[in-house]
Amino acid sequence: MTTFSTSTVVRSLTSSAIIRLFKLLPWLAVAALPLALPGYEPLATQVFVMILFALSLDLLVGYAGIVTLGHAGLFGMGAYTAGILSVHGITDPIVTALCGVTLAAVTGLVFGLAMLRTKGLTLLMLTMASAFLLYEVANKATGLTGGEDGLQGVSFTPLLGLFGFDFRGRTAFFYSLAALFLVFTFVQVLINSPFGWSLRGIRENDARMAAIGCPIMRRRIIVYAIASALAGLAGALQAQTTQFVALHSLSFELSGNILIMLILGGSGRLYGAFVGVPAFMFAQDQLAKQDPANWFLGLGLILIAMVMLAPGGIIGIAERIVLAIKMRGRP
């Protein structure tokens, strides 16, 4: 009995160490990407930024059950904050990113306070309206934002005073990968915390959560502010790594696309963002090659098929396959 339990302990310890190593492996593999595929750094950077953005959305859609069609508003808030600061002489990447995060969080807090009393369709419309509002402000305030022409003259000093944002994009690559890793770690901690569990409780049955004494409004507002901060970080990173900010970063199209990416990958599954973003970009690329004019049609068909047949997204399909394999071993 003793030997059995000891060996079980040893096995579980080694297996947890192995699992931890396995979980780091993809990150190391991706970090080594510039060696294998030089020249793809700028594309990879964009993917990282969008994954970070989708992760922030997953907190809302997948965990807290707050479906939003205005998440780009907060992304754009971060992007414009970093961009405008750099135009006015504040050019340190970390400082401007933190400013972007803060301003997006405050924006999220204010909008959250106003919107999160509502649910369902009303909330969906309000989130959309909030992003439209920011879009129109940026569109009209041409002196500050450059309006339709986009913000000109965005540039940042080297990261930590050492690594410049060069045209090869190595700095941007590692910078955004590091940011994504930090955010991923944070989100992972959050969803496994009592706070994260209570969000799922609110999504599952908010009336019951109220009946066990949960301050639902406060929890929803806090998670909205956190998700806004992370979206703002994604926006700031985009401004820094592309040295340009355009109205697109606040657009409804971006809000919709990021939601599609998340649903494609699988919401509420942490890794959904990592799968959905590349899948979307790959599909976009392939479909646009086939028919540059009507590629959205193809995307729409894929999306309808996914929602009808695999509501858990690509990760959901993978989960089902794993489950089927596990069950096959049993009588």
Residues of this chain that bind another protein (CB under 8 A): 189-190, 192-198, 200-201, 204-205, 207-215, 218-219, 222
- Considering the complex, state which of residue 1 and residue 207 has its C-beta at the smaller distance from another protein: 207
Least Å distance, CB 193 to another protein, is 5
* Nearer of residues 186 and 296 to another protein, judged by Cβ: 186
Q: How far is the CB of 211 from another protein (least distance, A)?
A: 6
Q: State the minimum distance, in angstroms, from the CB of residue 313 to another protein.
A: 16
* 312 to 202, 282, 287, 316, 317: CA distances (angstroms): 20, 19, 23, 4, 7
Closest CA relative to residue 105, chosen from 56, 168, 151 = 56
List residues bridging with 159 in a β-sheet.
Answer: 163
- The CB-of-28 to another protein minimum distance in angstroms stands at 24
Q: Which residue has the tokens 């990592």?
A: 274
How near is the Cβ of 274 to another protein at its closest, in Å?
Answer: 21
Query: Shortest gap between Cβ of 222 and another protein (angstroms)?
Result: 8
Judged by CB, which is closer to another protein: 92, or 206? 206
Q: Which amino acid type is present at position 300? A: G
Would you list the DSSP string of 130-145?
A: HHHHHHHHHHH-HHHH
Alpha-carbon gap, residue 114 to 293, rounded angstroms: 40
Closest to another protein by CB, 210 vs 322, is 210
Which of 220, 188, 224, 228 lies closest to 203, judged by CA?
Answer: 220
Complete DSSP assignment for 75-97: HHHHHHHHHHHHHTT---HHHHH
State which residue, 148 or 204, has the beta carbon closest to another protein: 204
62 or 76: whose CB is closer to another protein? 62
What CA–CA distance (Å, rounded) separates 140 from 147?
A: 6
Residue 30 has phi, psi (to 5 degrees) of -65, -35
Q: Minimal distance in Å, beta carbon 184 to another protein?
A: 15
Distance between CA atoms of residues 10 and 152, nearest Å: 59
Which tokens hold the place of 82?
Answer: 């970093």
Which lies closer to another protein via its Cβ, residue 132 or residue 195? 195
List beta partners, residue 245.
Answer: 151
